[in-house]
C-alpha cells in the first residue's frame, strides 16, 4: 500500500497474519483498541506490564483470559480504535 501524506510517499506492507497490524518501513504500526464500558485504550506499544503483557504485544496476541485493567471487561468488549 502506498499512501501520500504531506507530499511524501509512505510504503506499508500488510501482513495477513495480523490484519490489524501494518508494517511500515522501519517498524510496526499496531492498532489500538478501546474498552467499550470504560473507554480504556489498549496501546500495544506499551502493553499492560502490570498484568504481565509486554510492550509491542498486538491485541490479537493477548491471552484469552486477559481483561481490561480498569473495569475487568473481556477482550470481546473492546473495539478497534479508529484514528
Contact in structure between 30 and 21 (CB atoms under 8 Å): yes
- 7-29 pLDDT tens trace: 555 555 555 545 455 544 445 56
- CA–CA dist 21, 29 (Å, integer): 6
The predicted pLDDT at position 25 comes to 47
List, for residues 46-83, the tens digit of each pLDDT value. Answer: 999 999 999 999 999 999 999 999 999 999 999 999 86
Nearest to 58 by CA among 31, 77, 83: 31
This prediction has a pTM of 0.67
Amino acid at each position: 500500500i502506498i499512501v501520500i501524506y504531506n507530499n511524501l510517499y509512505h510504503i506499508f506492507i500488510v501482513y495477513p497474519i495480523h490484519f490489524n497490524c501494518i508494517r511500515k518501513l522501519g517498524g510496526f504500526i499496531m492498532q489500538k483498541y478501546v474498552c467499550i464500558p470504560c473507554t480504556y485504550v489498549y496501546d500495544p506499544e506499551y502493553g499492560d506490564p502490570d498484568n504481565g503483557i509486554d510492550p509491542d504485544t498486538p491485541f490479537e496476541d493477548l491471552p484469552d483470559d486477559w481483561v481490561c485493567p480498569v473495569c475487568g471487561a473481556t477482550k470481546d468488549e473492546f473495539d478497534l480504535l479508529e484514528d
